[in-house]
Amino acid sequence: MLDSMLFVLMFVVVVGIFSQWLAWRIRMPAIVLMSIVGLLIGPILGLVNPQESLGELFSPLISLAVAIILFEGSLNLDFREVRSFSKPLTRIVTLGAFIAWIAGSLAAHYIAGLSVAVAFVIGGLFIVTGPTVILPLLRQAKLKSRTAAILKWEGIVVDPFGALLAVFAFEAIKFINGDESFTSFLLFFTGSIFAGGLGWLFGWVLGKMFEKGQIPEYLKAPVVFAVVLLVFVFSDVIMHETGLLAVTAMGITMANMHIASINDMRHFKENISVLLVSSIFVMLTASLDPSILLEIFNPQIVLFVLAMLFIVRPLSIWLSTIGTDLMNNEKILIGWIAPRGIVALTVSGYFATVLQESGYEDAEMLTALTFALVFATVIFHGFSIGWVAKKLKLVATEKPGVLIVGGNAFTAELALSLLNEKMDVLVVDNSWEQLRYARKLGVPTYAGDILSEQTEYSLDLAPFPKMIAATEMDAYNALICSNFVVELGRDALYQTASSNVSESEYHPSIGGKILFNSSANIYDLTELVLKGFVIRKTNITEQYDYNQYLDARAKDSTLLYILRADGTLKFFTTKMELSANPGDLVVSLTPPTHILESNNDNTSPSKG
């Protein structure tokens, strides 16, 4: 075994990040691969045991990582977004979470055999579903928007509060059992209020400093990182176990201040938290004792996992949504999909230590119990969500929705033409100003970086199986297409021609398909629209075939796409020769004065 502390830290970080990358490449939930890799290097092959190698540093590192992970979750809890959803969501994250806590705790006590205290603590923690695992599943399944929104926001809203509920359950059980006096119990609640106030104060002060420009750009991420650690440790020193509440309150406060530079904090989250999630998860699984690993197959644990899957989750959803407008098929799917993720496993490790130190010896099986639930839910839900959604007819429409990255006059007109054909369309750009063309035409828009992890939390990409990168930065277009190859496939990724790279110099392995023709870069296309060129649509019929259309069209027009009679969307590219059949619709960018020698030109200039 390699016992060097420096080697173990390096090895865990490298293996964790490699697992994330490999999961991205093969389109699997990263948590599955991290579980497998952690088990291989730890209890199976015995290469490393982080808990033994790090010694007394192991628990503090886990605790600090959990604090940052919970801050990450709470930083996404913008109440404006939550309020915009319907009644079922509110019921699920309140009454549903409470029912899941009670039912899960009873299952842990009566089925898994845990003591009441340990059962109610772990039952509180298991209400979380976690955005780190639910979002990849939603992209994979392409659910209808309402169902996807409920699952996504349940994960974001409930995720930060699972650990807090576990803390309160732990203190309440100790008081009921007489392990603490009423004064001690009251002191804990006082400390909790103090922790919440401390988190709010630091979050508000830091947010104001961001707003007033009192922190330079290069220091924003380090300052946030430092303050999160300060708030967690200071609160935990004042009253043990309240640090998690403090950092959660801090994150919620900053999320709802709607700070203009909030993306800087999310940039911090996307770098530090991904590293921590990868490393800590591998550390925990690699530290599992082989006997605990074997304990996963204990009949009591297996029955508990089955109860959580088939009784607790469906029961909480069905009871909490009585009287709402949620359809039965939606209840079935939501009641089935509840993958637990990194927060559940890391926080359970934290509480396993705390509970054992308090004399609850059965808490030693918490890690095995949690790992069994996490792995089972990720595997079962990950591989079944698409099939179940199709059976329940909850898959998004088969119409080929298109997400267009890049706000300008041309993309706005292109999006409007697709929107008029009843397709899902969205124009995304970093700049709110650049989206003015699309907003003027009534085209849906989103201001933000498509490559930002935050976009995954706030934007449902499921309705858009095709993507066009049409910004004014050629390298950025290629980067976007490369980033989404694994999720969408290269055949669904397009980019406009480069303004400074010839077609012969273009490398298809680092970008998407080149749209239209090699000379139609985004600058030229935008200029044509501003000069008055319009998007026209022409029906191909038996009497007026595709060859006649090509002969009649203006020579300086640009062929854009063909909408097949069966609803299939095909874009013209430099590498593909398309042909239209009777019943198809051919769309092109045409001079405004040109009139086809046919009555099949069925669309007027799309100026909204």
Helix (H, G, I), strand (E, B) or coil at 392: coil
Give the integer Cα–Cα distance in Å for 481 and 494: 7
H helices of 431-521, in order, are 436-440, 453-458, 474-483, 485-488
First to last CA, the chain: 69
Number of residues that this document lists for the chain: 608
Mean pLDDT by 10 residues, the chain (608 residues): 75 87 74 81 85 82 79 72 70 90 92 88 84 68 76 76 76 70 72 89 90 80 86 85 82 81 60 75 80 81 93 93 87 89 73 78 82 85 83 73 89 89 88 88 88 70 83 86 78 81 51 80 87 86 83 81 84 81 86 58 45
Q: Which amino acid is at 247?
A: V
pLDDT of residue 319: 93
Helix (H, G, I), strand (E, B) or coil at 533: coil
| Domain limits, CATH 1.20.1530.20, in the chain | 5-391
* Contacting residues for 98 by C-beta, under 8 A, at least 6 apart: none
Q: Which amino acid is at 127?
A: I
Which residue carries 């019929």 as its tokens?
A: 541
CA dihedral angle for residue 378, residue 381, residue 384, residue 387, rounded to 10 degrees: -130
| Domain limits, CATH 3.40.50.720, in the chain | 402-590
User: If we measure between CA atoms, which residue out of 385, 431, 311 comes closest to residue 140?
Assistant: 385
Which residue carries 């639910």 as its tokens?
A: 134
pTM over 0.85: no
* Contacting residues for 391 by C-beta, under 8 A, at least 6 apart: none
To the question of domain 5-391 being in CATH 1.20.1530.20, the answer is yes
To the question of domain 402-590 being in CATH 3.40.50.300, the answer is no
Cα 583 off chain centre by: 39
* Contacting residues for 135 by C-beta, under 8 A, at least 6 apart: 152, 155, 456, 457
Helix (H) or strand (E) holding 347: helix 342-357
pLDDT of residue 603: 45
Residue 389 has which token pair?
Answer: 């959604």
Give the integer Cα–Cα distance in Å for 298 and 579: 61
